[in-house]
Chain A
Amino acid sequence: MNSLFTEISQEIVSGIALGSIYALIALGFILIYKATEVVNFAQGELMMVGAYVNFFLIQSFTSSMGAPTFLTFILGLLGSIIFAVLFGWFLDLIINRPMKDEPVFSIIMATISIGIVLRAIVGLIAGPMSLVPKSPFGGAHIQLSGIIISILDLFIIGAAIALVAVFYYFFNKTRWGLAMQATSEDPIAAELMGVPVNKVYSLVWIFAAIVAAVSGVLLAPRAAILDTNMGFLGLKAFPAAVLGGFGSIPGAIVGGVILGIIETVSMGTLSFHFQWVKEINDIIVWIVLIAVLMIRPTGILGTEEIKKV
């Protein structure tokens, strides 16, 4: 019995780490959705671009400065964040500006097409081989009564909580955050009150790109593989965002962690003990999504949206 308990707790711990990554990607969706009511289906691809930029930066640093250390990791992270700032601004320019008043369908398709293009371009530049990124912490881990927790996982969980907290504070307490809330409520009224709506939009896309880059940088060493299919993982963060409640920032971390735990536990213990669970492993997040949408479309922390006619 004890071993089963250890096993499940081990899975829950790694589920929390995986869920934190989902939470970070979901945070990107939610930021953009909150301010512009656009859903960015290319968030996963943004994450992939961030991971690739980070990988190449670290590679060039190591070739000039010697063996990889924690410093090169931090430098790589900073470099990819700077790249993400430029990239987010660029995306705002080409997607958000021209498509302000288009129907949801067109905007969704535009972001999907940007995702396809990004995947193809990265594939062309980086080549068809998948890369093997190294963890900055090596294999370091701590042991707690039989449960092994790697330092990287702890770092991921910490980063997710910190980023969610920072953005929660930003949205609810600072001047620019309030401007964003006003913009999402009613862009025209906000503009009349003196909110620079276009600047707010650019800022939101830049934030989303930064969050995506950070999640990519953290995910790549955890998965120990980096290829263009990483973008598809972004799709899995949608159920997380919906479960937490689309439009709620703390909802991202709640939904992400719950989904991560569901996924790892069903992949581990449940599949081991029940044959049929094995069949639904890789679609369990989608089953959760459809169940949530049927039962409570607003998610756990979401609020009811009232539509004007």
Chain B
Amino acid sequence: MKGRYADENIKWIPALIGLVILLPFMLKGITFSYKYYLYILNTIGIYLILTVGLDILSGYTGLISLGHAGFMAIGAYTSAILVDQVGLPFGFSLVLSPIIAGCFGFIIGFPALRVSGMYLGLTTMGFGFIIRRLIIALREWTQGSGGLAVSSPKLFGYTFNGDWANYFLVWTLAILSIVASRRMMKSKVGRAFMAIRDSEQAAEASGINLAQYKMMSFFISGVFAGLAGVLMAHTNHFISTDHFDNMLSIYFIIMVLVGGIGSIYGAVLGTIFIVLLENLIVPVIEEWLHVLFQIEAGDIESLIFGLIMFLFIIFQPTGLYGMWLKIRIYWKLFPFNPKQRFT
């Protein structure tokens, strides 16, 4: 039997997929600088894959990761080396590199079994630093901190060249990741993750193997981050360790938190919101500040992000998705709203 609020409105999904397909054509019709917007959309798609994975780890299983850019770096560099230096086809690396990143997630899962809370945050943060250093140390393959040029993705004899082709590659995989992660979180695995998040002791008492499921969560999250890394490497055509610094890991958490932690759609919404803010709104604000107050605002971006994250944590802990749910329930019950519930 279906509950009143546990509804899953599937009618939306084909419409959304249609919108994703039509969006580039609409942009091309509206503006001449559509290529810039396509680039932003590609960035959203790539980050979205990662934040969905991060949400599985942090939102569903309740494990903190402050080093997710490290997994992304592993995926990116593994794929770049496998395709350009070993000579594997891109399609093969698209499968293999995320799995390798997932295995690193498995390794970092070991200390996670013993520590929790802020200790885990520290461990994963250290992992991010160590991965960056490791990439620089393996300069025979990665060319150290100088960066690495990467070839375009080739699938089934077709070369994805430019933002237009990349858009469809990235968003196909992004939609697949969203669907796959939603299905996963509705299955036994997802329920086990949520049980661990809510109470480790209760979960263990009801027969959930804590070690196994925590490792699995890290593995899945690593796979998603690795996939994002592969796509980033091959659509950007250039990667360096500066692309994966620790600030990026924090930005990913901001995306998940702003969107609404513990829901896949929340991660998606947060990613769209933050990337659009970074690329469209922040430059405008910087220009205003420059014109109005003659301030050369160097770091206004992180100021805005920090403030947004802080305000969301204090005033809207359920994020954008939680806001949307509240509005929806409000309208559903419209004439009979219990007032105090929505204040």
Contact A104 B118 (CB under 8 A): yes
Contact A238 B122 (CB under 8 A): yes
Q: Whole-angstrom distance from the CB of B92 to the nearest CB of chain A?
A: 31
Q: Whole-angstrom distance from the CB of A117 to the nearest CB of chain B?
A: 4
Contact A286 B111 (CB under 8 A): no
Contact B114 A110 (CB under 8 A): no
Q: Whole-angstrom distance from the CB of B262 to the nearest CB of chain A?
A: 11
Which of B124-132, B181-189, B207-215 is found at the contact surface with chain A? Answer: B124-132
CA–CA, A294 to B123, complex, Å? 10
CA–CA, A109 to B117, complex, Å? 12
Task: Give the chain A neighbours of B62 by CB distance below 8 A.
Answer: 105
A24 at the interface (CB under 8 A from B): no
Number of residue pairs A-B, CB distance < 8 angstroms: 112
Given contacts A104-B118, A279-B133, A280-B133, is CB(A123)–CB(B298) below 8 Å?
A: yes
Q: Whole-angstrom distance from the CB of A141 to the nearest CB of chain B?
A: 33
Given contacts A39-B118, A293-B111, is CB(A110)–CB(B130) below 8 Å?
A: no
Task: Give the chain B neighbours of A114 by CB distance below 8 A.
Answer: 306, 310
B297 at the interface (CB under 8 A from A): yes
Partner of A124, one of B299, B307, B310: B299
Contact B306 A120 (CB under 8 A): yes
Contact A124 B302 (CB under 8 A): no
Counting chain B CB atoms within 10 Å of each CB, which of A105, A114, A238, A294 scores highest?
A105
A242 at the interface (CB under 8 A from B): yes
Contact A283 B306 (CB under 8 A): no
CA–CA, A235 to B306, complex, Å? 18
Q: Restricting to A92-106, which residues have a CB under 8 Å from any CB of B?
A: 98-99, 102, 104-106
Q: Whole-angstrom distance from the CB of B241 to the nearest CB of chain A?
A: 12
A186 at the interface (CB under 8 A from B): no
A112 at the interface (CB under 8 A from B): yes
What is the 8 Å Cβ interface bit string for chain A, positions 95-138, against chain B (1 contact, 0 not)?
Answer: 00011001011101110111111011101100010000000000
**CB-CB nearest in chain A for B58:** A105
Q: Whole-angstrom distance from the CB of B108 to the nearest CB of chain A?
A: 9
Contact B297 A124 (CB under 8 A): yes
Contact A117 B64 (CB under 8 A): no
B314 at the interface (CB under 8 A from A): yes
Task: Give the chain B neighbours of A102 by CB distance below 8 A.
Answer: 313, 317
CA–CA, A293 to B112, complex, Å? 9
B150 at the interface (CB under 8 A from A): no
Contact B314 A294 (CB under 8 A): no
What is the 8 Å Cβ interface bit string for chain A, positions 270-295, against chain B (1 contact, 0 not)?
Answer: 00000000011011001101100110
Q: Restricting to B271-328, which residues have a CB under 8 Å from any CB of A?
A: 295, 297-300, 302-303, 305-307, 309-310, 313-314, 317
CA–CA, A302 to B282, complex, Å? 45
What is the 8 Å Cβ interface bit string for chain B, positions 237-260, against chain A (1 contact, 0 not)?
Answer: 000000000000010011001000
Contact A110 B313 (CB under 8 A): yes
CA–CA, A79 to B302, complex, Å? 29
Contact A293 B119 (CB under 8 A): yes
Q: Chain B, interface size: which category?
A: 35 or more
Contact B123 A123 (CB under 8 A): no
Interface of B is mostly: helix
Contact B117 A104 (CB under 8 A): yes
**CB-CB nearest in chain B for A123:** B299
A309 at the interface (CB under 8 A from B): yes
Given contacts A124-B295, A293-B115, A297-B119, is CB(A283)–CB(B133) below 8 Å?
A: yes
Contact A289 B310 (CB under 8 A): no
Task: Give the chain A neighbours of B313 by CB distance below 8 A.
Answer: 99, 102, 106, 109-110, 113
B19 at the interface (CB under 8 A from A): no
What is the 8 Å Cβ interface bit string for chain A, positions 135-147, against chain B (1 contact, 0 not)?
Answer: 0000000000000
Contact B129 A113 (CB under 8 A): no
**CB-CB nearest in chain B for A39:** B118
Q: Whole-angstrom distance from the CB of B5 to the nearest CB of chain A?
A: 23
B137 at the interface (CB under 8 A from A): yes
Contact A124 B303 (CB under 8 A): yes
CA–CA, A98 to B313, complex, Å? 10
Q: Whole-angstrom distance from the CB of A96 to the nearest CB of chain B?
A: 12
**CB-CB nearest in chain A for B201:** A309
Given contacts A123-B298, A290-B126, A297-B119, is CB(A113)–CB(B111) below 8 Å?
A: no
Task: Give the chain B neighbours of A39 by CB distance below 8 A.
Answer: 118
Task: Give the chain B neighbours of A109 by CB distance below 8 A.
Answer: 253, 257, 309, 313
B121 at the interface (CB under 8 A from A): yes
Given contacts A238-B122, A297-B114, is CB(A99)–CB(B314) below 8 Å?
A: yes
Q: What are the 7 tightest A-B residue pairs by CB atom distance, in nearest-first order?
A: A286-B126, A116-B306, A120-B303, A117-B306, A113-B309, A113-B310, A39-B118
Interface residues of B (CB under 8 A from A): 58, 62, 64, 110-111, 114-115, 117-119, 121-123, 125-127, 129-130, 133, 136-137, 201, 250, 253-254, 257, 261, 295, 297-300, 302-303, 305-307, 309-310, 313-314, 317
* Seed contacts A113-B310, A124-B297, A283-B129; 15 additional CB < 8 Å A-B pairs: A105-B58, A106-B313, A108-B64, A109-B309, A110-B313, A110-B314, A113-B307, A116-B303, A117-B303, A121-B303, A128-B298, A235-B125, A286-B130, A293-B115, A297-B115
Interface residues of A (CB under 8 A from B): 39, 98-99, 102, 104-106, 108-110, 112-117, 119-121, 123-124, 128, 228, 235, 238-239, 242, 279-280, 282-283, 286-287, 289-290, 293-294, 297, 309
Q: What are 27 A-B pairs with beta-carbon distances under 8 A?
A: A39-B118, A99-B313, A99-B314, A102-B313, A104-B118, A105-B64, A105-B117, A109-B253, A113-B254, A113-B309, A116-B306, A117-B303, A119-B299, A119-B302, A121-B303, A124-B299, A235-B125, A238-B122, A239-B126, A280-B137, A283-B130, A290-B130, A293-B111, A293-B114, A293-B122, A294-B114, A309-B201
